[in-house]
Amino acid sequence: MTQSNTIVRCPWCGDNDDYQHYHDNTWGRPVMDSVELFAKLCLDGQQAGLSWITILRKQQNYYRAFAQFQPEKIALFQEQDCLRLMENPGIVRNKLKINAIVKNAKAYLAIEQQGQTFSDYIWSFVGGKTMVNRYASMQDIPTESAESQAMSKALKKAGFSFVGPTICYAFMQAVGMINDHLVDCHVYQECVDLAQR
């Protein structure tokens, strides 16, 4: 039995301070800002084959290396910029992943040039509002969904890279498109309330 003074969190963050802070203050809270959504999608793609904690700890380095994730600036990166980034120890030095962020910036701009904000485009996959789940156990939470599969397919068609259905699902959880906090988690209801605003 959990004591009343013990904070109950989703088990995935364990005892790690970085993870707990991210879980308590960021994960599952609805993000509507287009550039913030773009940054998060790119960062989730960087975690492919790695643990999220690795990227979380390098997050500020990524913001510095990639012009604060301003798509207009990243889209102008040339081959020499990408080669320079391969020398940056603060990020994951993987040529495909570095090039993917540049490719994604161009795809982002193409979507916005069609007269739709990236935020509206992304949120359209859940009908513009958070899908609130009521999972009691980590074992119940899927790694992808029909919505993340549809998003992945559309993003790839639009020219994005590192946007498989599992990455898209993790992204949707992180930016509050899906509330996958467990029902006994101390921020579950807070995220439900935020989603209803």
Q: Could you read off the pLDDT of 139-161 as tens digits, one per residue?
A: 999 999 999 999 999 999 999 99
Query: Which contacts qualify for 75-82: CB closer than 8 Å, 24 or more apart?
Result: 75/102, 75/105, 75/106, 75/109, 77/102, 77/105
Share of the chain above pLDDT 70, in %: 97
Average pLDDT of the chain?
A: 95
Name 116's Cβ contacts closer than 8 Å, sequence gap at least 6.
none
Q: Could you read off the pLDDT of 158-193 as tens digits, one per residue?
A: 999 999 999 999 999 999 999 999 999 999 999 999
pLDDT at position 121: 98
What is the CATH T-level fold of the domain 11-195, as seen in this structure? Endonuclease III; domain 1 (1.10.340)
| β pairing state of 178-179 and 131-132 | parallel
pLDDT at position 6: 86
Confidence check: pLDDT of 3 > 50: no
pLDDT category of residue 1 using cuts at 50, 70 and 90: very low
CA distance 187 to 197: 16
Q: Out of 104-108, 147-151, 193-197, pick the least confident.
A: 193-197
Mean pLDDT within 100-124: 97
CA distance 187 to 112: 33
**What radius of gyration do the chain's Cα atoms show?**
17
Confidence check: pLDDT of 2 > 50: no
Where are the domains positioned within the chain? 11-195
Q: Which regions of the chain does DSSP assign to beta strands (E)?
A: 131-132, 178-179
Q: What angle do CA 28, 33, 38 make, to 5 degrees?
A: 85
Environment class of 129 (CB within 10 Å of its CB; exposed 0-12, middle 13-18, buried 19+): exposed
Residue whose entry in the numeric block shows the structure tokens 């999608």: 41
Contact call for residues 106 and 159 (beta carbons, < 8 A)? yes
pLDDT at position 5: 66
Name 101's Cβ contacts closer than 8 Å, sequence gap at least 6.
42, 45, 46, 66, 74
Confidence check: pLDDT of 104 > 60: yes
